[in-house]
Amino acid sequence: MTRVEDVFDTLRQVRYPGLEKDIVSLGYVTGVGRVGERLVVSLEIGTSDAQAAETIEREARRRLDEAGYGYELQVTRPQPAKAESAPERQVQFEDLLPEVTYKIAVASGKGGVGKSTVAVNLALALAELGAEVGLLDADVYGPSMPTMLGIGDQKLGMSGEKVVPPRVHGIRVMSLGFLTQGITPIIWRGPLAGRAIEQLMTDVDWSGVEYLVFDLPPGTGDVQISLSQKGNLSGAVVVTTPQDVALIDAIKGVGMFQKVDVPVLGIVENMTHFECPHCHERSEIFPQGKLKAEMERLGVPVLGDIPIDPQVATAGDAGKPILLAAPDTAAARAFRQLAVRITEVLKDPRT
Ligand SMILES: Nc1ncnc2c1ncn2[C@@H]1O[C@H](COP(=O)(O)OP(=O)(O)OP(=O)(O)O)[C@@H](O)[C@H]1O
Ligand SMILES: [Mg+2]
């Protein structure tokens, strides 16, 4: 079976036209993984020079063909209009929240896999362990926390210049959904979304918070970029579901964080199995094992799996997450185990 390293070696032979630099060291190779029998390679050719991008793609295909892989190549390129009008942005890394010990982003490449569910239950489970926990709803396009925690428009208090995040079920929560009188989704243009995230960090009183959990929108947009550059994240937790299509997105999600030097703490696989509430027998929903094998190759641990349980969805809709609504269920237990695992990984990344 092809090793990821071999594929990278093959792609290292592809150089940027006219330069010594190869596309791996330029960070254009954003994901290599195996889905079933197929090898999936994703390239993000981040140059505004269309001709150079075409040459790179052609050369990459030629090398992969020569190496004899049965592969699928996914190529993304910057939009020409954007690349022409915007001058190269200087990347600057900052930490807008130095007082918060651990900042954890819950992310996914694909929408609807359970990020918000994982984020809220993880935050509550960390609080159960005795920590001071904040939950920042970074999904500025469609905030979920007002529904998931059963709190709509809020009269927010101020502490000096800063907004005091409401305390719900023992955690501090801030969401733009508290301010928009139920008007969602909000349409943000790119830079505004990034700015909104910055304000949620700097203009909200997170002092004394030990773990701040960020619930991200899906994909790899402006929110993810802002957070990676300004949030000094301790790490990202990438949520996926066990279908092949989601695995491809999970590989991309991992690649995105690795590219910007945010450590990927690990993967959470959601809705993997069903545990009978009566006899506790476990039934797998999809064939198992692919994710773990794939993540091992990428050097990313699988932190846990969460069973599918209709109560998870009803609890989320009713504003009382499963951890509190049905604390003895297999799903609630899985979220507690996940929280413990994450504290271990944060304290010692080698565990
Ligand atoms: N383990 C589970 N068992 C049953 N239902 C679940 C489970 N996890 C999530 N769900 C349900 O799946 C739906 C999507 O979950 P959620 O909103 O957490 O996903 P998301 O990744 O945050 O979505 P988005 O990308 O839109 O932000 C919700 O209705 C949620 O209640
Ligand atoms: Mg969500």
Q: Render pLDDT for 247-294 as a digit per residue (tens, 0 to 9).
A: 888 888 888 888 878 899 999 999 988 888 888 788 887 777 778 888
Write down the pLDDT at residue 31.
Answer: 77
User: To test the ligand 1 pocket, which listed residue (108, 116, 117) has its Cβ within 8 A of the most ligand atoms?
Assistant: 117
Is residue 92 domain-resident? no
Of ligand 1's listed atoms, the one at least distance from the Cα of 270 is 1
Residue 145 has pLDDT above 60, yes or no: yes
- Residue whose entry in the numeric block shows the structure tokens 């413990």: 340
CA 172 – CA 205 distance, rounded (Å): 10
CA 75 – CA 61 distance, rounded (Å): 11
Q: Whose CA is nearest to atom 31 of ligand 1?
A: 313
> β-strands 29-35, 162-163: how paired?
unpaired
Query: Ligand 2: distance of its center to the CA of 139 in Å?
Result: 7
One domain, residues 170 and 25? no
Query: Ligand 1: distance of its center to the CA of 337 in Å?
Result: 19
CB atoms < 10 A from the CB of 147, how many?
18
One domain, residues 77 and 111? no
Write down the pLDDT at residue 284.
Answer: 82
* Residue 346, token pair as written in the block: 């944060």
For the chain, report the end-to-end CA distance as a whole number of angstroms. 28
Q: Whose CA is nearest to atom 16 of ligand 1?
A: 114
The pocket around ligand 1, CB under 6 angstroms, is made up of 108, 111-117, 139, 144, 218, 270-271, 306, 308-309, 312-313, 316, 331
Write down the pLDDT at residue 272.
Answer: 86
One domain, residues 18 and 123? no
Predicted confidence band of residue 26 (pLDDT cuts 50, 70, 90): confident
Look at the chain and report how many structural domains it folds into.
2
One domain, residues 242 and 330? yes
Q: For the ranges 145-149, 179-183, 212-216, 332-336, which has the lowest average pLDDT?
A: 179-183
φ, ψ for residue 51, nearest 5 deg? -65, -45
Instruction: Name the packing angle between helices 290-298 and 244-259 (round to 10°).
Output: 20
φ, ψ for residue 42, nearest 5 deg? -115, 135
One domain, residues 66 and 145? no
CA dihedral 7, 10, 11, 15 (to 10 degrees): 170
Q: Whose CA is nearest to atom 29 of ligand 1?
A: 313
Is residue 81 domain-resident? yes
How high does pLDDT run on average in the chain? 85
Q: Whose CA is nearest to atom 1 of ligand 1?
A: 308
Residue 126 has pLDDT above 80, yes or no: yes
* Residue 331, token pair as written in the block: 């799903």
Predicted confidence band of residue 91 (pLDDT cuts 50, 70, 90): low
Residue 60 has pLDDT above 70, yes or no: yes
One domain, residues 11 and 143? no
One domain, residues 75 and 159? no
Write down the pLDDT at residue 345.
Answer: 92
Query: Ligand 1: distance of its center to the CA of 50 in Å?
Result: 39
One domain, residues 48 and 188? no
Of ligand 1's listed atoms, the one at least distance from the Cα of 239 is 21
Residue 195 has pLDDT above 90, yes or no: no
37-63: average pLDDT: 86
Sequence-ordered list of residues with C-beta below 8 angstroms from that of 168, at least 6 positions apart, any chain: 149, 150, 151
Predicted confidence band of residue 100 (pLDDT cuts 50, 70, 90): very high
One domain, residues 122 and 81? no
Helix ranges restricted to H, the chain: 4-12, 50-66, 80-85, 115-128, 145-148, 190-202, 222-230, 244-259, 290-298, 310-317, 322-325, 330-347
4-23: average pLDDT: 86
Residue 176 or residue 266, greater confidence: 266
For CA atoms 251, 257, 262, 265, the dihedral sign is: negative
Report the share of the chain in percent with pLDDT over 90.
47
CA 312 – CA 112 distance, rounded (Å): 14
Q: What angle do CA 35, 333, 219 make, to 5 degrees?
A: 40
Q: pTM for the complete prediction?
A: 0.75
One domain, residues 31 and 111? no
Write down the pLDDT at residue 321.
Answer: 98
* Residue 300, token pair as written in the block: 């990313």
Write down the pLDDT at residue 191.
Answer: 66
Q: Which domain holds residue 57?
A: 4-85
One domain, residues 54 and 109? no
Write down the pLDDT at residue 52.
Answer: 87
Collapsing DSSP to helix, strand or coil, 272 comes out as coil
287-316: average pLDDT: 88
- Residue whose entry in the numeric block shows the structure tokens 């790490």: 235
CA 349 – CA 293 distance, rounded (Å): 20
Residue 84 has pLDDT above 80, yes or no: no
- Residue whose entry in the numeric block shows the structure tokens 């203009």: 203
CA proximity to 166, closest of 182, 180, 150:
150
CA 95 – CA 103 distance, rounded (Å): 11
CA proximity to 213, closest of 308, 148, 157:
148
Residue 35 has pLDDT above 70, yes or no: no
Of ligand 1's listed atoms, the one at least distance from the Cα of 111 is 25
Is residue 93 domain-resident? no
Write down the pLDDT at residue 215.
Answer: 97
CB atoms < 10 A from the CB of 45, how many?
23
Of ligand 1's listed atoms, the one at least distance from the Cα of 216 is 27
CA 145 – CA 139 distance, rounded (Å): 9
Q: What is the CATH number of the domain that holds 248?
A: 3.40.50.300
One domain, residues 39 and 118? no
162-167: average pLDDT: 93
Report the share of the chain in percent with pLDDT over 70.
90
Is residue 147 domain-resident? yes
Residue 181 has pLDDT above 60, yes or no: no
